[in-house]
Each structure stands twice: as structure tokens, then as C-alpha cells.
Structure 1
Amino acid sequence: MDYFNEKKTVLRMADTPEKIKALERIITSADAHNDVEIGRWARDFLIDVCLTVGFPKKQLQAFSWLISKWEGEDNDVYIDTEDLLWKYKWVSEHVPTFDEVSKAQIDGLLDDMRVKFEQENYSLRPYYKVCTLAAMRMGDVKKAKELFEKWSNTKEDVLNDCTVCERQDQLHYYYFVKDYEAAKKKAKPIIEGKQRCAEVPHLTYGIMALTYLALGDAEMAQQCFDKGYPLVEQQSSLIPPLGQLLRYLVATNQTEKAREVIDTNLETVLQAEGGLDRLIFLQAAYPLFDREKEADLVEMTEALTAKFDARNENSYYQDCLNAY
């Protein structure tokens, strides 16, 4: 069967959209031949690659299949429970970025995550963390603060994220609630190069450029842009920090550079699966859009803003847009 040979080829490929297409072909062929084990392997691998390349919807589809197999009474394939719950964190974290997913659906998914973690006797610390990040993405400051306390005060176990990723998400929270001094303190080991991970400091520099700017440290803010932009340029899985860096340029009147960033990255942004990722970048670019020549981008930004606020039942993203 051809998909056996394609599996060997995939193992030698770098993480790219082409690798995702190859894995999808393997899944289609494996399903057609009722080869459940290869189908499981390809979906499991696809989830990992999507995290790097930036296709959260494809990730969710593959994860849904794994969950259904894990839950099934007539289980015809082995699913590693600990690995599955680890991946549940990734999927749950991205779901609020989809504008077509309702608030009730997000709440339902998060509740299902909680039930499964409790059922398997794992700590709820990762659950509270993901819920905090969901509240932040949905612009609910009060709920984020309540959940952050639960996240901070719940014990760790083997499903807790690494120290660096945990620090990154904590400094993001402090930025979100505008505790800029706390964000600066939490980010210090990362900014000084003492701690790093797969996506850190990639995720850090955008937040910290805006944090240092808010604290009046123009030199450090510019350093964050200079170091951060090469890490996220045209990276579909890193559009939020790209948008934050663009917002920094606009806020500091570096219009020519900001226009260059928009032109270089716009195609990548418009192809993003997560509507919120697009919105973060588009809102940052919004003040520079030509109201006649780029009317479609203006309309897209305003429509996405309204759609997310309607879903989230608040005016958080409209308030962000009005801040310009």
C-alpha cells in the first residue's frame, strides 16, 4: 500500500504545510483500508506538526478522532491516556481563537477536559491554566483573575507545562491585566536569555515590547522588537506575537517599518485558520489601512471585531480597536 511508503517519506520531512498534506493523505488511505493503527499514528503525528506549523483546526479534527477512539467501548486501537490529555491542553487553548465556535461550545470543551483530568486522577492545574488563557482570549478580565488564582494555587504534576512555558503564560496574564511591573519581573530570565523553550522567547518579545513601552523604557522596547521580529516573520503559528510587534511599531510612529511588516506578512495572516490570530494582526494594522484602497481589510477587521465581541458577550475587542 502506497501510504506505507509515504509514511517513511514523512518521517524525513521538515515541519511544513507539505508535511501536513502528506499526513492527511496517509490518513485518507489508512481509513479507506480500515488500517486503524496507521490512522492513529498519522493523526497523533499531525497534531504535533500542526502545533509547529499553525493549523489548529486540522489539529482539532485529528484530536476529535483520537478522543472518540479513547472513549469508545469497542476500542480497536491503543491510545496513550497521558499523551492524549497532554494534547488536550493544546486543543483547548486554541479553540477560543475560532470565531465560529460558540461560547457554550468552548465551555463544554473545557468542562470535558476537567472531567477527563479528574477521571484519570491528574491535577487540575493545567485545566485552570487553559481556562485562564481562554478567559483572556475572550476578554473577560474578572474571570481571568479568578482562574489565575486557582491556576497558581493548584499543585503541579506530570501534565504541567515546562517551567519556561509556565512563565511565559504567567507574564502574558500580567500583561493582560496591565500589571506591567509584574510582567517585567516574570519575563526577566527569558529576556536575559537564561530560559528558553520551543516557542519562547518567540512568544515573549511582542508582549514585552508593549510592556516596556508602557513602562517608559523605549530602549528595551525597541530591543524586543529587533530580537523578536526575525523569530516570528511569516510564521503562521506565531501571528499573535507578530501582531503585538506590529502594534508596537504603530504606537511608536515607525510607520515605514510597520507598513513593511504588514506587506510582508499579510498573506500569511489572511490564510490563518484562527480568526482571533487574524484579528490581533489586523487590529494592529488598522490605523495604517488606506480607507479606500484597503476597504476590504478595514471591513474584515471591523466584522471580526464585532463577531468576537458578540460571541464573548462583551466589548473587549471593540475597546481595543477604539484605543487607536
Structure 2
Amino acid sequence: MEDTIYDLMEQAQDLPGGAAKLAILEEAARLADASGLKELAYEVRGEIVDCAIFNGYPLKALIAFSWQLGQFDQKPDEYDEQELLWTYKWILGKVCSFPNIPKAQVENLVEDMRKRYAEYGYNERPYHYYKFRIAMDMGRLDEARQYLDTFRTIERDSMSDCEACEQSQIVRFYYLTGEDEQALAVAKPILSGRMTCAEVPHVTLSQVLLPLYRQGEADKAKDHHRNGYRLVRDDRDFLKTIAEHIEYLAVADPVKGIEVVERHLHMALDYESGLEQMYFYAAMVGLLQRLDTSGKSRLVRLPASLEWGKEERTLTEIIAYFRPLAESAAAAFDRRNGNTFYTNWIGEIVQTP
């Protein structure tokens, strides 16, 4: 059976990240479980977490990581604690994406990470940094500002995220608070190419578009949109980033925005993360509303996977279908988070009927 499992893992290695690769890895994990091969099952789930996190399947990653964590706690000497602790950060970066995960459970996870890092001799910079990120995910921006001030005072160690990732998250904070000048100032080392990583400048470029546009730098915004969208358009892990491009196009070039919506709506429809899906639907509705009031008749190609979309639909009908989905998701996140952040955000980009 081990040979069969390793064969499946080799098959998965030859595939690009996505559903097909995950299906093979999940079959390998099932066989390892059925055969009682715990160490091999742990290894396979590490591959599942890696593939799922970076290809738009965060729920699969959370499930696989939870299994790994339980197995590690039973026999910590048999597994690589450094790899597990590094992966823990990926999980914390996605855990707020599901409104059915209670706030208390999210907080317990962060505290558990803090305890484990201390146990293995790492400092608290990652802990405060992820408290900062989670506070942003929950729309608790006053708390986020406090954690931002705290994590930057703690020296970096080997468990800290890279400088580009941290800088990008600071840009995101000022983007969320509407502090345009500060967002653009913090983004400078990223925009200049001095700070880069696997996801930077990808996730940063979309968050300087509206600040630049509002500052009267329309040409710069257009250039950054063109370059930034090219980086993310073929990767489903960047659905929220794509939604931010749509939000920008709603004010800068709504007709161009239709092309982006048509290209990515199929991706949003089966996306595991409710947060990213909500972002996409809301940005799309805001865009379509601008076109719907332009007085011009337009058609939007809807994905074949959307049964409702098999008939020809007007912009008004499409808006009426997706707006409640975005608003109900926002309400669910707000209930979990204890505020009205996402409802207010949708109210800013979606016109009142």
C-alpha cells in the first residue's frame, strides 16, 4: 500500500496546484489512514495544506492541518515542529474566511500558536503580527492599529514573515482605513521593486489603485492595474485581489471591468472562502450598477456552471441575484466579528436600490 500512496504523491507532484492535484492527495491520505500509516498520512496532509492554501481551497487546508496538529501533539518527537509552526501562520491567515468559525475559536487558535512558539524558543513578533492581521480580517481596525504598533517593536526572528509580506499588510491596513497618503507612502518600497516575495507586489498593487485614483494619479493607477492584474489573473488564490481590481475598474473603466467579471465569476461561484467570495460579489455588483444606470444595453456572459444564468439575464437581474448574496455574507461576518464593518463597506460600494 505504501508504494501506491507514494505513486499517488508523485502523480500529484507532476500536476499544477488545483482541484485535480488535491483530489489525488486526498485519495493518498485516505489510503494512508485506512492502512494505519500515520507518518505517511501526516506527510500527505502537509502536501494537502500547501496545495490548498495557495490554490483557493482554505477549508481543505484547515481540515488537513487540524489532523496534523492532533497527530503532532500525540507524538511530537516524530515530526518537524518548525514546518508545523510555519504552516500554522498560513492557517491563521485564512481562518477568518469562514463566518461559522466563532471569534472565540479564532482567538484560541492564535493563543495556541503563541504558546507553541514560546515553547520552541521563538519570540512574539508573529503572534502580534497575526493578531494585527486577524483584527483587520474582522474589521476591528482600532485593535489592528494597536497590534501594528506592537509587532513592529519586536525584533524579527526565523519565524517572522518576510519583510515584503509584512509591509504589504501594513499597506492593506491604511487601504482599509482610507488613509490614502499613508498607504501610498508605505507601498513605495514595494512599488519600486525593493521588497518582493511570492505574493508581493501582487496583493499590493490592487490596494494602491483607488488611493492613486483619488489622489489624481489616474495614469499611475491604470499602469498598476495593468501590471497587477496580469500577475493574478490566472491564479484562483487571488480572488480577493481580483475583486479589488474590479472595485477600481468600477470607477475608472467599468466596461473593462465587465471583462474581468466574466473571466473570474466561475471561480467565485465555487470558492471555499466566504470572505473572498463576498468581496467578489460586492465588487461585481458595484460595477454592474454603474453600467446599469448608463443607459446602454449590455450583456454579461454568465458561467455555464450557474444554472440560473443559462437564460439571458439583464444587468438588473444579475444585480438582484448577487447583491443579497454579498449582503447576507457581510451580515454573517459582522455577527461573528461583533461589528458592522462589512455591511458598511458594502454600503459604500453598492448603491441603495
TM-score (norm 2): 0.87
1:275 equivalent in structure 2: 274
Correspondence 1:299 to 2:324: yes
Correspondence 1:321 to 2:346: yes
1:31 equivalent in structure 2: 33
Contact (CA 8 Å) 2:282, 2:323: kept in 1 or not? no
Q: Secondary structure at the match of 1:49?
A: helix
Cα gap change, 1:217 to 1:270, in 2 (>3 Å): same
Structure 2 matches for 1:6-25, cutoff 5 A? 6-25=8-27
Gaps of 5+ in 2: 290-314
Instruction: Give the C-alpha shift of residue 171 in structure 1.
Output: 1.5
Contact (CA 8 Å) 2:184, 2:211: kept in 1 or not? yes
2:86 equivalent in structure 1: 86
Cα gap change, 1:76 to 1:108, in 2 (>3 Å): closer
Structure 2 matches for 1:1-324, cutoff 5 A? 1=1, 2-72=4-74, 75=75, 78-252=78-252, 254-287=253-286, 288=288, 290-324=315-349
* 1:269-317 residue CA offsets vs partner (Å, 9 max, x unmatched): 1211111101111111122163434432122111111111111111111
Instruction: Give the C-alpha shift of residue 234 in structure 1.
Output: 4.8
Q: Secondary structure at the match of 1:203?
A: helix
Letter in 2 for 1:313: G
Determine the C-alpha separation between the residues in 1 that align with 2:118 and 2:248: 42
Instruction: Give the C-alpha shift of residue 181 in structure 1.
Output: 2.2
* 1:201-238 residue CA offsets vs partner (Å, 9 max, x unmatched): 11111101122123221111111111111222252210
Contact (CA 8 Å) 2:279, 2:326: kept in 1 or not? no
Structure 1 stretch 8-17 or stretch 276-285: which is displaced more? 8-17
Instruction: Give the C-alpha shift of residue 162 in structure 1.
Output: 1.4
* 1:55-105 residue CA offsets vs partner (Å, 9 max, x unmatched): 111111111111111212xx2872211111111111011101112211111
The runs of 4+ residues in structure 1 deviating greater than 4 Å are none
Determine the C-alpha separation between the residues in 1 that align with 2:183 and 2:150: 19
Contact (CA 8 Å) 2:165, 2:197: kept in 1 or not? yes
Determine the C-alpha separation between the residues in 2 that align with 1:139 and 1:116: 27
Determine the C-alpha separation between the residues in 2 that align with 1:132 and 1:309: 18
Determine the C-alpha separation between the residues in 1 that align with 2:123 and 2:177: 26
Determine the C-alpha separation between the residues in 2 that align with 1:152 and 1:193: 22
2:296 equivalent in structure 1: none
Structure 1 stretch 301-310 or stretch 178-187: which is displaced more? 178-187
Determine the C-alpha separation between the residues in 1 that align with 2:136 and 2:156: 22
Cα gap change, 1:273 to 1:257, in 2 (>3 Å): same
Cα gap change, 1:33 to 1:318, in 2 (>3 Å): same
What is the RMSD of the two structures over their aligned residues, measured on CA atoms?
1.6
Contact (CA 8 Å) 1:37, 1:77: kept in 2 or not? no
Q: Secondary structure at the match of 1:267?
A: helix
Determine the C-alpha separation between the residues in 1 that align with 2:226 and 2:132: 30
TM-score (norm 1): 0.94
Determine the C-alpha separation between the residues in 2 that align with 1:167 and 1:57: 26
Determine the C-alpha separation between the residues in 1 that align with 2:182 and 2:319: 39
Structure 1 stretch 277-286 or stretch 180-189: which is displaced more? 180-189
Contact (CA 8 Å) 1:110, 1:127: kept in 2 or not? yes
Determine the C-alpha separation between the residues in 1 that align with 2:98 and 2:271: 10
